[in-house]
Structure 1
Amino acid sequence: AKRYSGASRDMDARFLAGCAVVTTVVITVMIATSLATLHSTEIGLKCNHIWQTVSPQIYYGGLHFVGIGGYFVKFKKTVLSTEFSTDAHDVLHARTYDGLPIVLGVSFQYAYVQDKVYDLYLAYLGDHDRVYFNTATHLITEESTRHTAYEFFDEPQSIAQTMQEMLDDYFKDNLYARVVALQINTRVLPETFNDAILDSLTTKQNITNTIRFVDRMNVTLETRLLVARQDALATVAAAEGVAQAALFRSYAAANITTATFKADVQGFSQVKDELSLANDLLLKYVYWDSVGGRGVPTTARDDTPEYAKQSGAGLAEADVLVDLEPSILARSGGGNR
């Protein structure tokens, strides 16, 4: 009996030890499974797959107690990207406003509205990425029909800005997210349109070059015109100077001639008065003086009465005229004859 009692106590002790180990393991597992972590770039909603519940409370990065059967539905706090390309999804096939087919490679970046992730999860139960993709496909292809093919060729950034604003408005109101950027990476238009665009760009460039050439020529011609006007003004000024100098010389020559004429008149008048010469003889004397005073041109003999008659004076007065110039007489003021 004693041996039986000792064996029973040993079994009880081992049983209790096993129960303690199992309990510890169970408690450890329960505690471990009741904890969940969130990265610093994540937010989460606490769910329980046993009770099928979702808590509206938003959890941020760190270690959190979620209970038995609990887990986090996680959402990124960073900006996410969706791309329509051959690498990720099919490119977008659309049409322009003028009916031409166009193939678009588009990517856009979005971020969740953090205080709306509970509503987002209840609305789409975690399938919101597919909803985002399909909605963006529809909206982008619809927006493409509002722009011409030339606008896609010439102003893709402007169209991308318009698409980004349109997506942002719709996502904010209906999909609990914000579209922060959108890029048109590729745009493929029909080959004939591309050729026509290249021809038009070449023509436009030629027109621009011609306009610039015309502008340069206008500047050149205006410069030459200004130079010609300055040259003309300089020529006119020089001509006016030459004319003014000639006019002054003419005035001086006229003044000299007038003074000389007055002196001659005074001299001849004095000669006539002092010698009592007749007008015709005075004219002959003037002629004699003008040719150099070589002698008195007369056909009458100096000892005949005709000579004295022609002179209008006696022989004494006529003899004085030999080798005598009136200017000498005028300067002498009636001195020696």
Structure 2
Amino acid sequence: MQPWLVSVVVVAIVTMTSLFLGSFDSLEYQEFGLNCNYLSESVEKEPYSAGRYYLGITNSFIKFPRTVKSISFLEDWTEGRQGPALQSRTKDGLTVHLEVSFQYQLMFDQLYTLWSTLGEDYEKTFVRMAIEQLSTATTHHNAHFFFRNRTFVSKEMHRKLDEHFKQHAFAEEDAIRETQVQEQHIQIARLEQETKKVTFATEVLKAQQAVQKLQNEAEGEAQAIAKKNDAFCEQYKLTQQLQVHGLQSVVSKTFWNGFELLNYLSIRAVRDHPSAKTMISI
């Protein structure tokens, strides 16, 4: 076989392998997809779930999130959030600011309708829909009802968003909550935490005071015992000194020697000892 022919065969094999491998596309577990042919600019209506599929060399997936997504309108909004708190009016004309956060999930069997209606940049439309529905919901009630029945208003907003998203956004509104209520829960939790800190600090202070009291009592008792011992020792020392002086006086007057003095002390000891507890061996 000619060398040039071998080269052609190798190039053909490599090219076909690359084309074959490039004909596959995959979807992660958290993704849905639509099969799009970029050559004919057509999209299959049947959606795909997670997995690896052979689509063809000119095909790839338009991917959509399978997970629940959030849209938030908060006063202290930051990068990555949809916008600040919404401003609207109640039925009697009072201006209100709404801090709202809700979640939605795309409907798998409506992916093609979603794409063909809203395109790949559908979330911007979702945001506009949410602003419209939430702002309109506040105009149905006066200010007194709105602030006294926030739970009812929240459920009503949830219902309207869910209905509108299913009909026009091809998604299900998963949950809506008033952020202020959540912030109140957080504030309550923080206050409870601070209260517990104060309680624990008080208990620690009480324990420290109790320990200090015990230490003071122990030191006082130790000092009292020490003083009592010192007084006893001082008294005993004085008594012994007086006894020595007395014996010295006896010896000087009687001219006793040491043996005679010891006999005298023995007799006096027997005399001073209780007779009921004395036993003499002869």
Give the TM-score normalised by the residue count of structure 1. Answer: 0.49
**What is the root-mean-square deviation in Å for CA atoms of aligned residues?**
1.8
SS at match of 1:182: strand
What is the CA–CA distance in structure 1 between the aligned matches of 2:160 and 2:46, rounded to whole Å?
Answer: 31
SS at match of 1:56: coil
Equivalence for 1:145: 139
Given residue 170 of structure 1, which amino acid in structure 2 is its aligned partner? H
What is the CA–CA distance in structure 1 between the aligned matches of 2:141 and 2:5, rounded to whole Å?
Answer: 80
What is the CA–CA distance in structure 1 between the aligned matches of 2:31 and 2:145, rounded to whole Å?
Answer: 40
SS at match of 2:57: coil
What is the CA–CA distance in structure 1 between the aligned matches of 2:94 and 2:6, rounded to whole Å?
Answer: 81
What is the CA–CA distance in structure 2 between the aligned matches of 1:25 and 1:169, rounded to whole Å?
Answer: 53
SS at match of 2:56: coil
CA apart distance, 1:153: 3.0
What is the CA–CA distance in structure 2 between the aligned matches of 1:69 and 1:84, rounded to whole Å?
Answer: 40
Given residue 69 of structure 1, which amino acid in structure 2 is its aligned partner? T
What is the CA–CA distance in structure 2 between the aligned matches of 1:105 and 1:66, rounded to whole Å?
Answer: 44
What is the aligned counterpart of 1:54 among 43, 48, 71? 43
Output aligned runs, 1:167-182, within 5 Å. Answer: 167-182=161-176
Deviations 1:95-122 (A, max 9, x none): 1222111111111111122111111111
Equivalence for 1:36: 25
Equivalence for 1:123: 117
Larger Rg: 1
CA apart distance, 1:78: 2.2
Structure 1: which 4+ aligned runs deviate by more than 4 Å?
none
What is the CA–CA distance in structure 1 between the aligned matches of 2:168 and 2:41, rounded to whole Å?
Answer: 25
Equivalence for 1:20: 9
- Which structure is richer in relative contact order (CA contacts within 8 A, separation 6 or more)? 2
CA apart distance, 1:161: 0.8
Deviations 1:298-320 (A, max 9, x none): xxxxxxxxxxxxxxxxxxxxxxx
Equivalence for 1:134: 128
CA apart distance, 1:23: 1.6
Q: Does 1:109 align with 2:103?
A: yes
Given residue 105 of structure 2, which amino acid in structure 1 is its aligned partner? A
Equivalence for 2:154: 160
CA apart distance, 1:24: 2.5
What is the CA–CA distance in structure 2 between the aligned matches of 1:99 and 1:38, rounded to whole Å?
Answer: 50
SS at match of 2:114: helix
What is the CA–CA distance in structure 1 between the aligned matches of 2:12 and 2:144, rounded to whole Å?
Answer: 75
What is the aligned counterpart of 1:76 among 52, 55, 65? 65
Given residue 120 of structure 1, which amino acid in structure 2 is its aligned partner? L
CA 1:34–1:102: 2 relative to 1, 3 Å: same
CA apart distance, 1:41: 2.2
Aligned residues between the structures: 176
Equivalence for 1:263: none
SS at match of 2:35: strand
What is the CA–CA distance in structure 2 between the aligned matches of 1:18 and 1:149, rounded to whole Å?
Answer: 82
Given residue 138 of structure 1, which amino acid in structure 2 is its aligned partner? E
What is the CA–CA distance in structure 2 between the aligned matches of 1:17 and 1:144, rounded to whole Å?
Answer: 76
Give structure 2 stretches of 5+ with no counterpart.
182-282
What is the CA–CA distance in structure 1 between the aligned matches of 2:66 and 2:159, rounded to whole Å?
Answer: 21
What is the CA–CA distance in structure 1 between the aligned matches of 2:145 and 2:177, rounded to whole Å?
Answer: 15
SS at match of 2:46: strand
Given residue 31 of structure 2, which amino acid in structure 1 is its aligned partner? E
Deviations 1:73-103 (A, max 9, x none): 1222222211112221132111122211111
CA apart distance, 1:157: 2.4
Q: Calculate percent identity across the aligned residue pairs.
A: 30
What is the CA–CA distance in structure 2 between the aligned matches of 1:128 and 1:79, rounded to whole Å?
Answer: 15
Give structure 1 stretches of 5+ with no counterpart.
1-8, 188-337
SS at match of 1:27: helix
Deviations 1:149-175 (A, max 9, x none): 334433322211100101111111222
Given residue 52 of structure 1, which amino acid in structure 2 is its aligned partner? E
What is the CA–CA distance in structure 2 between the aligned matches of 1:147 and 1:31, rounded to whole Å?
Answer: 62
Given residue 166 of structure 2, which amino acid in structure 1 is its aligned partner? K
What is the CA–CA distance in structure 1 between the aligned matches of 2:149 and 2:21, rounded to whole Å?
Answer: 57
Output aligned runs, 1:236-247, within 5 Å. Answer: none
SS at match of 1:99: coil
Given residue 142 of structure 1, which amino acid in structure 2 is its aligned partner? T
